[in-house]
Amino acid sequence: MTFCAAVSHRLLQRIPTVGRGSARAYSARPTTLQDEGRAKVTIRTIKKLYTDQQPITMMTAYDYPTSVACDRAGVDMVLVGDSLAMVALGHNDTSQITMDDMIHHSKAVARGSRSSFLVTDLPFGTYQSDETTAVNNAIRMIKEGRAEAIKLEAGRRAAPKIDAIVNGAGIPVVGHIGLTPQTAVALGGFRVQGKSVANAQALVADALALQEAGCFAIVLEAMPSLVAETVTRLLRVPTIGIGAGPATSGQVLVLSDMVGMFDRFTPKFCRSFADLGPRMVSAVGEYNEAVRAGTFPAEGTHTYAMPAAAEERWRTYVQKEFGLELGAGSASGSSAQNADAVPQSS
């Protein structure tokens, strides 16, 4: 089970599901995702939410199970953020993740997202050099990563590239201004942006330029609420805030942060909706002790049995052929469920 898979295991337990059969599911025989009645979210959906002044929800997901959790929870937009470099892959910053890494994770998230609109980050170094490179990598993320839109961390200097991606290649783009983790070193670290009037003016200029370049939404990260409100009221496209206050058109958080699964730090702006990290440690510890104590797996509860006749013949064969007296094993006459169940893959 992946680091993020454990997160969604707890989340999925809280979300009602419909249309499941009575047969037990395993990772080798997963349940089939059912249509639970939610229409597919599209850019038109996002625009309507914005026009109707309905808050837009976005959440990060990094693999199939976290994507399923977000989708079933009813999140409008799922973001495969390059934050996965830190929270899922253990890197020190987001600049170390590659295009192949992002495509790999985006494909996994796409498999679990039935209704939510899927946006994927282009990682550092894949769009900064020139328009052709930016367009080619955006196309690759759509074709190979199965994303429906891409996100760029860039200000007004990237407007020509965004224009080429949107109007040249026809690919939707979400902008991202304020604290841009890919270039945090140039910003002096992970610091709030726009605290001075001059810096706030620069953020407004960036936002307006990205809108004119064709972004259908813009993420505002780590800036004073008043600045985010100003930007939001000046734009004609939705803003998605993360550490930008309540006046934005919507909100996004990093899943690992809001469920307590990232062990290094929790940003000030993040609200904790669960504390699954300690629960995971506790569960693994209980498993560890159960194995050492010999209480797991329990014969007859976590095991499979042979039919009674086959068991007796097998015991006779093993005793004669190898001189082994086998243990008690499961009770004879095992149920059809035990006989037919598919073992969980490792």
| DSSP of 113-167 | -SSSEEEEEPPTTSSSS-HHHHHHHHHHHHHTT--SEEE--B-GGGHHHHHIIII
299 is catalytic: no
* Residue pair 250/220 in contact by the 8 Å Cβ criterion: no
Residue 80 dihedral angles phi and psi, to the nearest 5°? -85, 85
CA separation, residue 197 to residues 226, 236, 245 (Å): 11, 23, 18
Angle at 5 between CA 180 and CA 98, to 5 degrees: 40
Q: Tell me the one-letter amino acid at 59.
A: M
- Residue in 148, 153, 221, 229 annotated catalytic: 221
DSSP symbols for 239-255: EEEESS-TTSSEEEE-H
Strand partners, 150: 120, 173
Here the tokens at position 173 are 């783009």
What residues have CB less than 8 Å from 136, skipping those under 6 apart? none
User: From the CB of residue 114, how many other CB atoms can be counted at a distance below 10 Å?
Assistant: 17
What amino acid positions are annotated as catalytic residues?
Answer: 221
